[in-house]
Amino acid sequence: MRLITLDDFIETYTKFRQRGASFITSKLNINDIKRTKSAFNELDIQSANWWIIPKIQKRWNQLITGDSQTEYEDFVMKKFLANSKNLKMLSLGSGICSHELTFAGYENFEEILCIDINEVLFDAARKTASEVALDNINFKIQDLYSYKFPENYFDIVFFHASLHHFKNIEELVGQKIKRTLKPDGKLIINEFVGPNRLQFPKHQITATNRAIKLIPKPFRKRFKLNLFKNKIYGSGIIRMILADPSECVESEKILPSIHKNYTTIYEASYGGNLLANALKDLSHHFLELDQEKEETLNKLFDFEDDYLKNHPSDFVFGIYQNTPN
């Protein structure tokens, strides 16, 4: 466990340049929920994380669905839910609801209920739903821990990059979600399932630094900074808790709890062990590709694929069947 690292100071300075002083001071609030909300309360956050790279998104599609052009929503609907009707879905920690809105566009869904604590993102989601005339999706501002789960009601419970923000994973997954799902209901996740509080082991940090060296120096200039990225040191626990008390609080418990309480229908790993940290603050260089950038990404993909041969993936997409207690 690392309390404070050099990356903590670099990350604080980076966030100051990217999101301003008000974002930094918001982390001094003693209220955990308000600090968590401050991490997600802007619609157009300027950052350079790996998920903004189109080629990365195609890699995810390939690893999850088997087709770089097929996103997982369409894959789920055609392969697993094509003949299902009047579906009721509960989405927890929905945020901007982009994936839930996509699901709502399918006639298979009678009701999609999205729950989150962020009014700013939900206002934008409501506007989108209204613009495309979706009447089967609803938005509820509520803390998950105070939500009263109806019993035997939902066909699907869905998490997209949100389950790793919740604590008491075994109780949530093994009790509350099981009870709110119908007996044949499904749990669908697209999640970070790696180390708690992003406390990556030394071998992973070492491999990530080797990956960074594969990136030519011009593409290692950090977003909005006159600094070059040469290596990472890992995140310190203190900054993790200050920045977002919910971040990866029990992430490493997610898969064990799911596998204990559900039957796996489909599960696909898509890595991120090295790419996420290697490309953080550098991803803006790879939005548009020339030959050199394309070759750089391919080298990084191959390097991570080799690493994943001997280490479990930090990111997983899965569909799981409810089972009797």
- pLDDT for 246 equals 93
For 1-15, write each residue's pLDDT tens digit.
Answer: 899 999 999 888 887
Is a pLDDT exceeding 70 seen at residue 43?
no
Give the confidence band of 38 by pLDDT, cuts at 50, 70, 90.
very low
Sheet hosting strand 109-116, strand order edge to edge? 137-141, 109-116, 87-92, 154-160, 181-192, 315-322, 262-269
| Segment 232-242 mean pLDDT | 93
The tokens describing 143, both together, are 């803390």
Segment 75-79 mean pLDDT: 99
Which of 3.30.450.20, 3.40.190.10, 2.40.30.10, 3.40.50.150 is the CATH number of 6-322?
3.40.50.150
The whole-number average pLDDT for the span 196-212 is 98
Query: Domain map of the chain by residue range?
Result: 6-322
Query: Per-residue confidence at 243, pLDDT binned at 50, 70, 90?
Result: confident
Flag whether pLDDT at 181 surpasses 70.
Answer: yes
* Mean pLDDT score, 211-225: 96
pLDDT(271) > 70: yes
Q: Is the pLDDT of residue 194 over 50?
A: yes
pLDDT reported for residue 259: 98
For residue 22, name the pLDDT band (cuts at 50, 70, 90).
low
For all residues of the chain together, what is the average pLDDT? Answer: 93
Average pLDDT on 303-322 reads: 99
% pLDDT > 70, the chain = 91
Residue % of the chain over a pLDDT of 90: 83
Structure confidence at residue 287 as a pLDDT band (50, 70, 90): very high
Q: What is the pLDDT of residue 35?
A: 45
- Res. 101: pLDDT tops 80: yes
- How far apart, in whole angstroms, are the C-alpha atoms of residue 169 and residue 161? 14
* Predicted confidence (pLDDT) at residue 79 exceeds the cutoff of 60: yes
Region of poorest pLDDT, from 40-54, 161-175, 280-294, 308-322 = 40-54
